[in-house]
């Protein structure tokens, strides 16, 4: 059965800390893995990963995919209170997307 | 930059009525749009993939006769919840990728539906 598992479920850190969020998956005919940030409303797209070992970076956020071990990590360095959100991972297989349950990150001032 | 809009933002309706939600891509053409549903404190669930000029592809467990999708143009997809019931109350979100290489996925702001 196809599935996407994110860990941890919830995380509380202080401003300035670095966090690593994990996403592991089992999907038939993997096409891509996507990361999103969701605050109060619709998600914001962060990254799409299709190739193993190539880091994608955007400011303090970065992500990498390991297609052999079937996981991805999302790193956030020097966290800020504005990073508080639910981070969703989704994996695209043939004709479908499967979302993980998300990691709820709370950054304290 | 590319933007996806949704209308309306909020809908409150009586049980048994039909509700239409519009999703528009504003600065780009989208041959494919995606419709999601999110219940409180749960993750997004993909409902269907809307294809311009052809039938939508529905995810397992989503009733195609209940959730009618029309993608009549490259910038507009509509989701109609027919004969809505309280259990259909949810947050409905659409999205589309911009660019040939699907560089970025843009989400609409979502439509919150409450069926009384």
Strand partners, B50: B33
Our CA-based measurement puts residue B59 at a distance from the nearest CA of chain A, in whole angstroms, of 7
Mean pLDDT across A44-48: 92
Per-residue pLDDT tens for A49-102? 999 999 999 999 999 999 999 999 999 999 999 999 999 999 988 767 889 989
- Closest partner residue to A99 among B44, B49, B107, by Cβ? B44
Place of tokens 């397992």: B60
Query: Which pLDDT does position B41 carry in this prediction?
Result: 82
> Is A101 touching B (CB cutoff 8 A)?
yes
Distance in angstroms (rounded) separating the CA atoms of residues B107 and B95: 4
Residue of A42, A90, A96, A103 to mutate, interface with B, max B Cβ within 10 Å:
A42
Given a contact cutoff of 8 angstroms between Cβ atoms, the answer to whether B19 and B79 are in contact is no
pLDDT band for position B2 (cuts 50, 70, 90): low
Residues B17 and B10: their CA atoms lie apart, in Å, by 15
**If you search the block for the tokens 């996981």, which residue do you land on?**
A71
What distance in Å separates residue A69's CA from the closest CA in chain B?
A: 24
The residue among B48, B42, B89, B82 whose CA lies nearest residue B65 is B82
- Please give the structure tokens belonging to residue B65: 């006769």
Q: What is the pLDDT of residues B19-42, one digit of tens each?
A: 999 999 998 888 889 999 999 888
Q: Encode pLDDT of B41-84 as tens digits.
A: 888 899 999 888 888 989 888 999 999 999 988 999 999 999 99
Mean pLDDT across chain A, nearest whole number?
93
The band of B86, judged by pLDDT with boundaries at 50, 70 and 90, is: very high
Query: Among B98, B92, B83, which residue's Cα sits nearest to residue B110?
Result: B92
8 Å CB contact of B43 and A34: no
Q: Do B43 and A102 touch (CB under 8 A)?
A: yes
3-state secondary structure of B96: strand
What pLDDT was estimated at residue B52?
Answer: 86
In this prediction, residue A36 has a pLDDT band, given cuts at 50, 70 and 90, of: very high
Q: Around Cβ B24, how many Cβ atoms within 10 Å?
A: 19
């Amino acid at each position: 059965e196809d599935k996407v598992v994110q860990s941890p479920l919830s995380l509380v850190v202080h401003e300035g800390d670095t966090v690593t969020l994990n996403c592991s998956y089992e999907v038939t005919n993997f096409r891509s893995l996507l990361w999103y940030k969701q605050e109060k409303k619709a998600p914001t797209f962060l990254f799409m990963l299709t190739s193993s070992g190539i880091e994608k970076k955007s400011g303090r956020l970065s992500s990498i995919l390991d297609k052999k071990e079937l996981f991805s990590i999302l790193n956030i360095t020097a966290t800020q209170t504005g990073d508080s959100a639910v981070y969703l991972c989704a994996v695209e297989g043939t004709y479908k997307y499967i979302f993980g349950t998300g990691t709820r990150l709370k950054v304290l001032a | 930059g590319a933007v996806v809009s949704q209308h309306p933002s909020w809908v409150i309706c009586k049980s048994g009525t039909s509700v239409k939600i519009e999703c528009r891509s504003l600065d780009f053409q989208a041959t494919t749009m995606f419709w999601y549903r999110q219940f409180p404190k749960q993750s997004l669930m993909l409902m269907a993939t809307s294809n311009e000029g052809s039938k939508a592809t529905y995810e397992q467990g989503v009733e195609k006769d209940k959730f009618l999708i029309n993608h009549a143009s490259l910038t507009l997809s509509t989701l109609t919840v027919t004969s809505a019931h309280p259990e259909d109350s949810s947050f409905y979100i659409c999205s589309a990728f911009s660019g040939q290489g699907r560089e970025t996925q843009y989400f609409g702001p979502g439509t919150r539906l409450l069926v009384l």
